[in-house]
Structure 1
């Protein structure tokens, strides 16, 4: 290993606030080609293991009772809490993914958690210590299902899901999406160098690199004598390609993904983000969205029960990833209450709703904090209740790349999780659950 390069990587991590010992271990384990986010994820996982002195086992952790101040109660008297424990697996396959031999087909849920209404909550897997424990504690002590979307598309996307859905007889969307770079971008094969052995992309983010990086890489490669560049040039190029998800589009020429290509990888229809005003708007919207194929796999168990349609309360709807998943599963959207603050996202979702000739009712709300008991009561009276409450909660204060305000559920945006809990509580109470 190049010790000069290693020292630089360690210095970057130390400057970000990580202990030098942890930074050194991460670089040695993951290698110099790993991107910063991968290294920070490794450090966080290692810290969790050391904290509990157990590797890949559930840490002993007894949670206190969640606060219920100013919230309607679904049960009388004292509520019993069990020992709820969460661990982050190295292989994120949840209860099972297509093509993997290990499956779990049954789990026990508390009686109070049985649906309908069903609920489905998603957020980034690698969150600050104790975050998933807290969220599970508020959501009926249900343990998260951690899944990497690399099993459903050509890019990694490590997420945790807390839900009360059945898990037997799941099925994936058809046709099967491309799950490798080569399948997703067949035209790139002719330009792909043999020393770039990537088969999948890293997590798609809200920003992409500019043309200057592509120009810099091209100049470096063209200045090398011979057909194969020196090892140090290869390592530099591969590090940039991994970090920025660059693909080969010509000889010695790499480029970032276009919005339409991100749509395809994330399972959205072509030109789904046409309602975005700028390219930056589209990248930001897609980077914060669901991976549709993954979500559809989880929701597929509802198709038989709701073949005539369902009523959905969609909190932090984004660009409609959940609704697209249900639509592709063939589940009619009878009534949808969509809560989303971004005007760009609302325009994109509204455009899809019209383009797909949805016949149901769409109600749009701008801020989850403004939803009241009276509003929920009016919706339940009008629709007869909600079948599914689905949430892709803001991850701004949870994501590993945020070293400025990564303060977990105390953060300004991620604390909105508690409003989801509040609203779920109201819906269940009014529906007699």
Structure 2
């Protein structure tokens, strides 16, 4: 069967485990014509020929800054913005102090590059792809190569800083201050100095208080802690050769080794080696349980998950083998793995099978047959406009550098061709199709919420394949305890399999998700739906009352929120101990009590 190939390659490079908010991409810093340039400098080297008051320079000298550093900084940015001047001085100060302990950085490399359009630097609502609105595309191949090289260097620096646990906001600001061509460690120190400045100003002190307190802090414990953290991060980044550096796609050495191809224990039409597994009688259902989380979890997390769920081996599946989009997930369950059957009719397996109307505009150099992981957010209008400008200004076919840039963005954001030289994100109803939901399943909530809910959902065809064994076992229907239900992917899978749900106790904190599930349930189901907003309110006593009321549960299904496990969520990828993923232990607690109440094994 065609398509049973390695899961590595492009889909690995851009596949994102979207249950965390997708990280924004970044583009080159532009020039700011509002910042001082050579034409605004007087003959004496000062901005607009205005010499700053001697008292101002002396004031910063008294604070502990060298006079040459103060004059240099004022010449670069003026003295009208005290906050900006303070931040630049702190940056230079941090770099000089770090040089003294053996790091040979040149502060001359950390200047304030000028930026073309202030509107492109809205870091509070940073979209990463929106920052190149002022750059005009050129049809010259060498110009595009420079443009792409600049983009690549900036993206690499930002991703490196993010993997060193700085925020993307901090990384972007540092590159704007120092430029994208400086050493990564210069950027680290610049961020550190900026953090000190922000800490000082966050105290709402007067100028004199800032002078007296903040710089003493900078010269003391705060600075020592900051520099030590910076050195640790640099050491971690430097540790060994390129092979030891963190990968930029979440698939680094910290991830659990995954099978390749990622086809689980078996898939329809797959002719690979057969897999058998033996579960003890104590581990078999009912109650059956089914737990999902992202495949690319940090090192040791899947071992920990398995250890808490009867030491059952995870089943890793990439949904691209069942539909037209990748979705790498791991499943731990005690369901039988023999006699599974897929949903019929089979879902479309390629992009053109799913969306044949896009073929008209699809360029020959875009060789994608599958989409990547469906994310919780989509590309911005500015990004798609930038791609269109690049293509319009190029030859046909465009230069390799332009093709690479366009393909990288198309793969990352799942862009499709909707016109000549025109790409666009998937619409929510198209994501519903790819994920196996009925059309308009999420309609009725805002478009942004629809993307978020769909990006965090089950892939219905994959889940249905695993649950299909329940059809023969429960001809009269099932009683389901659904934990972290999202928009009801498990329930939709059971419905598509023709399995009647006699009762579903659903735990889901998202109001919009509950509204989506309730709307679908009222239109399609006759059983009882009991909704619980917060898993913390599902106490052991309450679980016991449900077991007594319904005679137990046949299936406990769910997947704890995996924001802290997902590869794309680079800011808070702290595993099961993270704020969201720690809810996994509530899944274990509740499953444990259901087993106990029904006379089965406790974990």
* Pairwise same-fold verdict (TM > 0.5): yes
Q: C-alpha displacement at 1:351, in angstroms?
A: 0.3
Determine if the alignment matches structure 1 residue 305 to structure 2 residue 473. Answer: yes
Task: Provide the residue aligned with 1:384 in structure 2.
Answer: 551
Task: Provide the residue aligned with 1:339 in structure 2.
Answer: 507
Task: Provide the residue aligned with 2:542 in structure 1.
Answer: 375
Q: 2:268 aligns with which of 98, 102, 112?
A: 98
Q: C-alpha displacement at 1:5, in angstroms?
A: 7.1
Q: Is the 8 A contact 2:250 2:568 kept in 1?
A: no
Partner Cα separation in structure 2 for residue 258 and residue 419 of structure 1: 34
Q: 2:582 aligns with which of 390, 395, 415?
A: 415
Partner Cα separation in structure 2 for residue 300 and residue 152 of structure 1: 15
Task: Provide the residue aligned with 1:431 in structure 2.
Answer: 598
Task: Provide the residue aligned with 2:292 in structure 1.
Answer: 122
Task: Provide the residue aligned with 1:75 in structure 2.
Answer: none
Determine if the alignment matches structure 1 residue 174 to structure 2 residue 174. Answer: no
Task: Provide the residue aligned with 1:11 in structure 2.
Answer: 157
Where 2:250 maps in the other structure, the secondary structure is: helix
Q: C-alpha displacement at 1:115, in angstroms?
A: 0.4
Structure 1 residues 298, 103: CA separation in 2 closer, same or farther (over 3 Å shift)?
A: farther
- Structure-1-length-normalised TM-score: 0.84
Q: 1:198 aligns with which of 368, 388, 411?
A: 368
Q: C-alpha displacement at 1:112, in angstroms?
A: 2.1
Task: Provide the residue aligned with 1:135 in structure 2.
Answer: 305
Structure 1, residues 231-272: CA drift from partner, whole Å, max 9, x if none? 111111111101110000111111000000000000000000
Give every structure 1 segment of 4 or more consecutive aligned residues whose post-TM-superposition deviation is greater than 2 Å.
1-14, 16-27, 38-42, 103-106
Determine if the alignment matches structure 1 residue 41 to structure 2 residue 211. Answer: no
Q: Is the 8 A contact 1:10 1:24 kept in 2?
A: no
Task: Provide the residue aligned with 2:427 in structure 1.
Answer: 258
Q: C-alpha displacement at 1:368, in angstroms?
A: 0.7
Task: Provide the residue aligned with 1:244 in structure 2.
Answer: 413
Partner Cα separation in structure 2 for residue 5 and residue 95 of structure 1: 41
Q: C-alpha displacement at 1:99, in angstroms?
A: 2.2
- Structure-2-length-normalised TM-score: 0.61
**1:20-35 maps to which residues of 2 (within 5 A)?**
24-25=242-243
Q: C-alpha displacement at 1:315, in angstroms?
A: 0.2
Larger Rg: 2
Q: Which runs of 5+ in 2 are unaligned?
A: 1-144, 165-236
Structure 1, residues 11-46: CA drift from partner, whole Å, max 9, x if none? 34422236468894599xxxxxxxx9x842332xx4
Q: 2:440 aligns with which of 257, 265, 271?
A: 271
Structure 1, residues 74-111: CA drift from partner, whole Å, max 9, x if none? xxxxxxxxxxxx74223211101122211535311133
RMSD between superposed Cα atoms in Å: 2.2
Determine if the alignment matches structure 1 residue 404 to structure 2 residue 550. Answer: no
Which protein is richer in helix relative to its size? 2
Partner Cα separation in structure 2 for residue 380 and residue 431 of structure 1: 8
Q: Is the 8 A contact 1:127 1:400 kept in 2?
A: yes
Partner Cα separation in structure 1 for residue 336 and residue 570 of structure 2: 37
Partner Cα separation in structure 1 for residue 553 and residue 156 of structure 2: 50
Q: 2:317 aligns with which of 127, 147, 157?
A: 147
Partner Cα separation in structure 2 for residue 245 and residue 3 of structure 1: 23
Partner Cα separation in structure 1 for residue 490 and residue 384 of structure 2: 34
Structure 1 residues 234, 352: CA separation in 2 closer, same or farther (over 3 Å shift)?
A: same
How many residues in Structure 1 have an aligned counterpart in Structure 2?
Answer: 382
Structure 1 residues 239, 143: CA separation in 2 closer, same or farther (over 3 Å shift)?
A: same
Structure 1 residues 270, 104: CA separation in 2 closer, same or farther (over 3 Å shift)?
A: same
Q: C-alpha displacement at 1:9, in angstroms?
A: 5.4
Q: C-alpha displacement at 1:275, in angstroms?
A: 3.2
Structure 1 residues 150, 20: CA separation in 2 closer, same or farther (over 3 Å shift)?
A: farther
